[in-house]
Structure 1
Amino acid sequence: MTPATSLFTPVEADLQILADNLKQLVGNRHPILYAAAEHLFGAGGKRIRPAIVLLISKATMLDQPITARHRRLAEITEMIHTASLVHDDVVDESDVRRGVPTVHSLFGNRIAVLAGDFLFAQSSWYLANLDNLQVVKLLSEVIMDLAAGEIQQGLNRFDSSLSIETYLEKSYYKTASLIANSAKSAGLISETSLEIAEHLYHYGRHLGLAFQIVDDILDFTGSIDTLGKPALADLKSGNLTAPVLFALQEKAHLEVLIEREFAQEGDLDQALALIENSQGIQKARELAAHHASLATEKISILEPSESRQALINLSDYVLSRLY
């Protein structure tokens, strides 16, 4: 499998600048928040979201260098993503992410919530300073979507009547909205046509959905190293994802186990066996492949370049994580 980072060769130097800048953006006026940010931004991550912003910036500027505003947009995108992870870990009570302790397990829930709020506020301030109202609107919507997705997920726990459409809507809010809207924003900063900006939005949307579906499949087939969190975490917490929803269409007894919230001994193992003996994982793979293919189709509108090719290869990489 090609590692994601090797796809980012055209923006490797830019990502290094981004990594150095992120800690400085938080500032050191608040020692605890600075320590939390340093921990977060030093935690490794693949930096997929800012890499997409930088690749789109290069692919839409072509022979011209990308601007300071493109770089700042990439930094804002990573800050928003990181803030959402801090809050997610509090809600999910996760002690580990990407192989390192989470902020709330090191600093406590109160600091983690405040650190997440602080990063959202900082990103909003830098966003306003881009002086581009369209971009401000798009990224502000992302922050609302992240909260809406988390609330929707909480309300739908152990709901075996959940539809694939509702699952995809929640996946858009939680994962794809940031990728889609920051991709479109990069195009707007490059002053592309509105038609191209829309294609960039749909590239990000379909790539983000494929990415989330693959993550949800890996919850069943991956290890803690692949996931950065314990396997089966979603199923245990009642977060029903594509493999489960497709399996429910075949296995009636799975509904019984979910409705009683795996309360009896052996319920979880039984549920896992039912999912593995169904077409659930295969159908989820097909759904991910469908969205990855649409992402490739949307980005192909750009003129050929090394950066455009990297964005196409990213669609393949998302699916390759399954094999």
Structure 2
Amino acid sequence: MTPATSLFSPVEADLQILAENLKQLVGNRHPILYAAAEHLFGAGGKRIRPAIVLLISRATMQEQDITPRHRRLAEITEMIHTASLVHDDVVDESEIRRGVPTVHSLFGNRIAVLAGDFLFAQSSWYLANLDSLEVVKLLSEVIMDLAAGEIQQGLNRFDSSTSLDVYLQKSYYKTASLIANSSKAAGVLSNVSSDTAEHLYNYGRHLGLAFQIVDDILDFTSSSDTLGKPAGSDLKSGNLTAPVLFALEEQPYLEVLTEREFAQQGDLEQAMNLIKNSQGIQRSKELATHHAKIAVEHIEVIPSSQSRQTLINLADYVLSRLY
């Protein structure tokens, strides 16, 4: 499997600049927030979201170098993503993220919530300073979507009647919206046509959905060490993802276990086995493949370049995480 870091070789230097800038953007006026930010930005994430912004920036600016505004957009994208993770971890009571302790487990819930709020506020301020109303609208929508996705997930816990459409909508809000809207925003900063901007949006949308579906499959097929969080944690918290929803169509007893919130001893293990012995995981793989394929079709409309090829390869990389 191609590691994400080598996949991003066309923007490797850009990502190094981004890593240095992120800590400076947060600033050290607030020692605890700065410590939290340093912990977050040093936690070795794959930086997939800002890498996509930088790749699209380079793919749409072939005759010239990318601008400081493109770089700042990539940094804002990572700040928004990181802020959402901090809040998610508080809501989900997660102790581990990317193999390291979460902000709230180190600093407490109060600091974690404030740190997330601070990052959202900082990203909004830097966003306003890009002086592009269209980009402000695109990224502001993401922040609304992240909150809507988290609320929707909370309301649908342990609800075995959840439809696949509702699941995909929540996956869009929580994961794909940021990738879709920041991809389009990168194109807007490159002054691409409105038609091309829509293709960039749809590339990000479908890649984001594929990415989330694969993540949800890995919750059942991967080890805790690989995931950087306990395997089966989504199911345990009542977050019913694609493999569960497909398995529910085949395994009636899974509904019984889910509706009683895996309250009895052995319920969770039994539910995991029912899912693994169904077509749920295979059908989810097919769904992820479908969205990755559509993403590639949308990105192929922009002129050929090394950056465009990397964006195509990224769709394969997302799927390769399953094997």
Same-fold call, TM > 0.5? yes
Q: Cα deviations across residues 234-291 of structure 1 (Å, max 9, x unaligned)?
A: 0000000000000001111110000011111111111111111110000000000000
Counterpart of 1:15 in structure 2 is 15
**1:97: Cα distance to partner?**
0.5
Counterparts of 1:144-223 in structure 2, within 5 Å, are 144-223=144-223
> Which residue of structure 1 lines up, in the alignment, with residue 119 of structure 2?
119
| Corresponding position of 1:291 | 291
Question: Residue 65 in 1 paired to residue 65 in 2?
Answer: yes
Alpha-carbon distance between aligned partners in 1 of 2:74 and 2:320, rounded to the nearest angstrom: 25
Give the letter aligned to residue 11 of structure 2. Answer: V
Q: Distance in 2 between matches of 1:316 and 1:276?
A: 24
Counterpart position of 1:3: 3
1:315 maps to 315
2:267 paired with 1:248: no
CA distance in 1, matches of 2:38, 2:196: 36
Q: Which residue of the partner structure matches residue 305 of structure 2?
A: 305
Gaps of 5+ in 1: none
In the TM superposition, residue 63 of structure 1 has moved relative to its aligned partner by: 1.9
**Amino acid corresponding to residue 68 of structure 2 in structure 1:** A
Q: Report the CA distance between 1:225 and its aligned residue.
A: 2.6
2:100 alignment partner in structure 1:
100
Q: Which amino acid aligns with 2:14?
A: D
The answer for the alignment partner of 2:237 in structure 1 is 237
Residue 92 (structure 1) shift: 0.5
Deviation digits for residues 143-185 of structure 1 (CA, Å, limit 9, x no counterpart) = 0000000000000000000000000000000000000000000
Does residue 37 of structure 2 align to residue 33 of structure 1?
A: no
**Aligned-pair Cα RMSD in Å:** 0.5
Distance 2:119 2:272 in 1: 37
Provide the C-alpha distance between the structure 1 equivalents of 2:167 and 2:63, rounded to a whole number of angstroms. 41
* Structure 2 Cα separation of the partners of residues 203 and 228 of structure 1: 27
Matched to 2:238, the amino acid is G
Letter in 2 for 1:109: N
Letter in 1 for 2:83: A
TM-fit CA distance, 1:223? 1.2
| Code of the aligned partner of 1:306 | Q
**Which amino acid in 1 is paired with 2:196?**
I
**1:248-287 alignment, distance < 5 Å:** 248-287=248-287
Paired residue type of 1:105: S
Amino acid at match of 2:71: R
Cα distance in 1 for partners of 2:47, 2:131 equals 25
Shift of 1:226: 2.2
Aligned-residue offset at 1:36 = 0.4
| Deviation by residue 1:30-50 (Cα, 9 ceiling, x = unmatched) | 010000001100100000000
Distance 1:189 1:46 in 2: 24
Q: Which amino acid aligns with 2:198?
A: E
Cα offsets for 1:10-30 (capped at 9, x unmatched): 000000000000000001110
One-letter amino acid of the structure 2 residue matched with residue 22 of structure 1: L
> In structure 1, what is the Cα distance between the partners aligned to 2:231 and 2:114?
28
Instruction: Name the CA distance, whole Å, in 1 between partners of 2:31 and 2:318.
Output: 37
Amino acid at match of 2:169: E
Name whichever of 100-109 and 225-234 sits farther off.
Answer: 225-234
Instruction: List aligned pairs for 1:37-52, cutoff 5 A.
Output: 37-52=37-52
Q: 2:265 and 2:138 mapped to 1: Cα distance?
A: 47
Segments of 4+ moved more than 3 angstroms: none
Matched residue of 2:60: which SS? Answer: helix
- Tell me the amino acid that sits aligned with residue 36 of structure 1: A
Cα distance in 2, alignment partners of residues 76 and 271 from structure 1: 39
> For the residues of structure 2 that align with 1:226 and 1:133, how far apart are their CA atoms?
40
Question: Normalized against structure 2, the TM-score is what?
Answer: 0.99
Q: Any idea what the Cα deviations from partners look like across 1:79-138, whole Å, max 9, x if unmatched?
A: 000000000000000111001111001100000000000000000000000000000000
Task: Report the more deviating stretch, 220-229 or 98-107.
Answer: 220-229
Structure 1 stretch 229-238 or stretch 262-271: which is displaced more? Answer: 262-271
Mapped partners of 2:277, 2:210: distance in 1: 23
- Percent of pairs with identical residues: 83
Q: How many residues align?
A: 323
Letter of the 2:288 partner, please give it. A
Q: Secondary structure at the match of 1:28?
A: coil
